[in-house]
Amino acid sequence: QKEVEQNSGPLSVPEGAIASLNCTYSDRGSQSFFWYRQYSGKSPELIMSIYSNGDKEDGRFTAQLNKASQYVSLLIRDSQPSDSATYLCAVEGMRFGAGTRLTVKP
Amino acid sequence: GAGVSQSPRYKVAKRGQDVALRCDPISGHVSLFWYQQALGQGPEFLTYFQNEAQLDKSGLPSDRFFAERPEGSVSTLKIQRTQQEDSAVYLCASSLAGVGETQYFGPGTRLLVL
């Protein structure tokens, strides 16, 4: 079992819809969680970090963390074609999932 | 301010050659990380420095891989006797403090071993 698991996708949503990305992790002691976006051929860039249970909102993005279930998710509201990318979940900064490829169709 | 820079951006090596990849972190960033990213995969952790100290090298796949950061700023990842399976993008990232902080990634070095 990998330390950080993500739905490999691809995930396709229509423009304006909500995209939901999920991530589970194996180390119960993990304290810091990150979502990165990676466009094809580019390096990852941070979307959000989350450290406490619950929701954290930043514009169209909401990260949700449930440490008891070892689960972290990212919701993208009003999805735009420019959101089409691979989304990487990172735990404790260093352990990355394989990423979920998101396509937002106009 | 300047971000993380890496050089070279592309490297083609013949199998068996040694290569050296350079990373210039953001000025003042204490921590520096190296990752290997294969096509279609997430970044795989290789090693981590805090200043000049290599605190974790558990991700280095073999003793052919060696990293250093002698003065606590620029870092070099060296791969000896390259193999075809070493072909990947090598990403460097830096953070202001430790592993729980946001990491800022460089553009990566794409290595192709023929």
For A93, the closest of B103, B106, B107 (CB atoms) is B103
Closest CA to B34 of B42, B43, B26: B43
For the segment A44-71, what is each residue's pLDDT rounded down to a tens digit? 999 999 999 999 999 999 999 999 999 9
What is the reported pLDDT for B1? 55
Mean pLDDT over B25-45 rounds to 95
Q: Among B35, B28, B20, B6, which Cα is nearest to B73's?
A: B28
A87 half-sphere exposure, CB direction, 13 A CA radius: 29
Question: Looking at residue B2, what is its pLDDT?
Answer: 82
Q: Which amino acid is residue B3, in one-letter code? A: G
Contact A43, B108 (CB under 8 A): yes
Residue B109 has a CB neighbour count (10 Å cut-off) of 21
Q: How far apart are CA A27 and CA B43, in angstroms?
A: 18
Question: Hey, what are A12's tokens?
Answer: 């396709």
Q: Which of A31, A51, A98 sits opposite B42 (nearest CB)?
A: A98
* Selected residue of A21, A94, A100 to mutate for chain B interface (largest B Cβ count, 10 A): A94
pLDDT at B98: 82
A96 three-class SS: strand
Name residue, tokens 């396709």. A12
pLDDT at A9: 79
- pLDDT attached to residue A7: 83
Residue B101 has pLDDT above 90, yes or no: no
For residue B41, list chain A residues with Cβ-Cβ distance below 8 A. 98-99
Residue of chain B with shortest Cα separation from A87 = B42
* pLDDT band, very low/low/confident/very high, at A1 (cuts 50, 70, 90): low
Q: Which residues, listed in sequence order, are joined to residue A1 by a DSSP beta bridge? A: none
Could you read off the pLDDT of A3-55 as tens digits, one per residue? 999 987 799 999 999 999 999 999 999 999 999 999 999 999 999 999 999 99
CA distance B104 to chain A (A): 7
End-to-end CA, chain A:
36
